Amino acid sequence: MTDSVELPVSVPGLRVLRTTAQTVRTGVKQYYAVARIERGGFDWWGRGNAWHSPPGSILVKEPGDVHRDLALHGPTVFTAVVLPANDVARARDAGKIVAIPHLEAGDERAAPFHRLHDAICAGADRLSLEVALAEAIATFGRLSSARTDHTRPVRRAMEYLRERLADPITLDDLAAHASLDKFHLCRAFRAQIGMPPHMYLTHLRVQRAQQLLTQGVRASELAPRVGFYDQSQLTRHFRRIVGVTPARYGNARVSVAG
């Protein structure tokens, strides 16, 4: 069980979610985000390694990252700052976005991320929060030595799945695009991403369905637009990953917007 509430902030485009997790989950991240463990803690797998995150730990996420919980140490509360897409895009174009999965509580490199979280918790004014946000985004560029890249075949396979998520995809097609035989690709993909290609694709399709529902597309129209065989298959995977049916998710978004 996972409960999330959105915290108010003074910067347009910035989203902050405080989440209480009581069960282990696996998911594919949709956004650039910086999270801080406030209470509890968990062991988790990401980017090819197992990590231990007690209170005060900072977690940095990129779109497409797989996060798999291994164990929770009691109910775990964390605050996640979803970074504004435009700011992240500019930093990415400048070569400053780097995947740093985990920084321990005492790691001095995490200081700008803590300042951002502290400013949010204190209800800081817009200028103060914008400065903290800019420093946090810039910090990504100073941590390049810690980057853990995927191999080129796995990167190409991920790109292929993202670009063609609504199309029928075969393993032979995927392996040909990745320039690696399918047996080695499956093993490398699971080892580096944390799940096999078909499961990763399912998460991408469900994420796209969430986006379309938010844009007002009816649940009954989703399946062919995101690559599922029929409505039943979509609903089954959507409920398993998101926790509710597509129709209920869409209705909840309409209620919030209204």
- Together in a domain, 136 and 27: yes
- Together in a domain, 176 and 137: no
- Together in a domain, 69 and 169: no
**Residue 112, domain CATH:** 2.60.120.280
pLDDT at residue 237 in the model:
93
- Together in a domain, 6 and 128: yes
- Of 34, 1, 4, 37, the C-alpha closest to 18 is 4
d(CA 37, CA 110): 13
- Together in a domain, 19 and 138: yes
- Together in a domain, 112 and 170: no
Single residue among 127, 146, 165 that ends a domain in this structure: 146
pLDDT at residue 193 in the model:
87
- Together in a domain, 185 and 102: no
- Together in a domain, 26 and 127: yes
pLDDT at residue 147 in the model:
45
Single residue among 96, 129, 146 that ends a domain in this structure: 146
pLDDT at residue 145 in the model:
38
pLDDT at residue 146 in the model:
43
Number of domains the chain contains = 2
d(CA 163, CA 208): 12
Q: Contact, 18 vs 7, CB < 8 A?
A: yes
- Together in a domain, 171 and 193: yes
Per-residue pLDDT tens, the chain, 258 aa: give them. Answer: 568 898 988 888 789 999 999 999 888 988 889 999 999 999 998 887 889 999 999 998 888 888 889 999 999 999 999 988 777 777 666 555 555 688 998 888 889 999 999 999 999 999 999 999 988 887 765 554 344 568 899 989 999 999 999 999 999 999 999 999 999 999 999 888 888 999 999 999 999 999 899 889 999 999 999 999 999 999 999 998 888 899 988 887 544 444
- Together in a domain, 122 and 218: no
- Together in a domain, 207 and 190: yes
pLDDT at residue 245 in the model:
92
Single residue among 126, 146, 166 that ends a domain in this structure: 146
pLDDT at residue 206 in the model:
94
Pairing of strands 76-82, 33-39: antiparallel
- Together in a domain, 240 and 176: yes
**Residue 167, domain CATH:** 1.10.10.60
Q: Which domain holds residue 224?
A: 152-257
